[in-house]
Amino acid sequence: MVTFPLGDAPLRLAMLGMTEGNGHPYSWSIIVNGRYDAAALADCPYAVIKDYIAKQPAETLGIPNAQVTHVWTDDPADAEQVAAVAHIPNVAARAEDVIGHVDAVLVATDIGHQHVNRAKPFVEAGLPVFIDKPLCDNRADLLQFSKWVSDGHPILSSSAMRYAKEFTPYHRSTHEFGPLRHITMSMAKKWETYGIHALETILPITGPGFLTVRNTGTAERNIVHLTHRDGIDVTISVIADQIGGSGFLTIAGTKGGVQLRSQDTYHAFKTQLEGVVSWLRTGAPPVPWAETQELMKLVIGGIESREHGGAEIQLSDIETVQ
């Protein structure tokens, strides 16, 4: 059990888990620790990480007075490689072994239905837990996380797209466009794991207040329509091989609009992790829990709608209190 918030003391963090296609343990650990072994990074299987890390001036790396001191991954060989890349001194044999040796844990996996089980030992041990997006992808798990938060357990989750420097100037600041009428965004890969990137880009722009979600696509070609209480329609496409068209955002109002694309992945991750560290120190979450709940309802509703032939899902029907 630790006392939360953690204050200004040096932070010992554990980086936990790795799932196929998600290299966050590499990049997050480098960003926090502020240095890396170039030869070991050359063997990292994620080309995009090697590219954007190599482009950063050394002085931009690191978060003061915080260090990833422990790492565990589902495949032990991955943990050894991440430790070598990011100068992490301790490789745990089991995830639970970090309890008693760290101040907080980062669950660096993106499969929502695994996160309750991955987080449970650390929540029960009283450790603050940051969980990669999406927090969850089904109603039962949203109820469990909501209960834990209601009981006072420090849990935070977010997508780095919330922090993309191309989009943040428009967070609740689109007055020059008049009342918003339509927002569109395109993403690649799967709704279950990448839909949240689009959702967490858009909600800080519109503000909370989504009413319905309808997914008329397939598992490989998700076409999702959201409605918002302020009269805004949102359409999101998450298509498996839409790599070249990922990250495009259009905001349209009655008097103007803008088209944008996120491109600086490093900045988004660095700002996200700085927010995590600030939360650990102060207890003030950069993402309000009510927003996380609304975002998870949209993720869940998009899955349920698709599974029911494109049925409209009312967010108010997805409960967060038992």
Nearest to 100 by CA among 122, 80, 116: 122
Q: Is residue 322 predicted with pLDDT exceeding 90?
A: no
Q: For residues 153-174, give the mean pLDDT.
A: 98
Six-digit token string for 145: 């996380």
Q: Is residue 1 predicted with pLDDT exceeding 80?
A: no
Per-residue confidence band for 47, with pLDDT thresholds at 50, 70 and 90 = very high
Domain 162-263+297-317 classified CATH 3.30.360.10?
A: yes
How many whole angstroms separate alpha carbon 214 and alpha carbon 113?
21
Indicate the domain borders of the chain.
11-132, 162-263+297-317
Say which amino acid occupies 167.
Answer: F
Question: What does the pLDDT look like over 262-314, one tens digit per residue?
Answer: 999 999 999 999 999 999 999 999 999 999 999 999 999 999 999 999 999 99
Q: What pLDDT was estimated at residue 154?
A: 98
Six-digit token string for 75: 């495949």
Distance of alpha carbon 253 from the chain centroid: 28
Report the sign of the C-alpha dihedral through residues 55, 64, 23, 45, in that order: positive
Q: Tell me if 85 sits within 8 A of 29, measured CB to CB.
A: yes
Separation in Å, CA 309 to CA 211, 215, 295, 303, 306: 19, 8, 21, 10, 5
Q: What pLDDT was estimated at residue 321?
A: 87
How many whole angstroms separate alpha carbon 280 and alpha carbon 2?
11
Confidence (pTM): 0.97
Q: For residues 237-243, give the mean pLDDT.
A: 97
Mean pLDDT, rounded, of the chain? 97
Q: For residues 245-255, give the mean pLDDT.
A: 97
Q: What pLDDT was estimated at residue 254?
A: 98
Residue 245: other Cβ atoms inside 10 A: 13
Q: Do domains 11-132 and 162-263+297-317 have the same CATH topology?
A: no
Residue 87: other Cβ atoms inside 10 A: 16
Q: What pLDDT was estimated at residue 46?
A: 95
Residue positions counted in the chain: 322
Per-residue confidence band for 146, with pLDDT thresholds at 50, 70 and 90 = very high
The rounded percent of the chain whose pLDDT value lies above 70 is 100
The rounded percent of the chain whose pLDDT value lies above 90 is 98
Tell me which architecture the domain covering 11-132 has in CATH.
3-Layer(aba) Sandwich (3.40)
Q: What pLDDT was estimated at residue 124?
A: 98
How many whole angstroms separate alpha carbon 134 and alpha carbon 157?
7
Q: What pLDDT was estimated at residue 213?
A: 98
Nearest to 35 by CA among 63, 76, 8: 63
Q: What pLDDT was estimated at residue 243?
A: 95
Q: For residues 130-149, give the mean pLDDT.
A: 98
> Could you please report the per-residue DSSP string of 257-301?
EEEEE---HHHHHHHHHHHHHHHHHH---SS-HHHHHHHHHHHHH
DSSP 311: -
Q: What pLDDT was estimated at residue 2?
A: 83
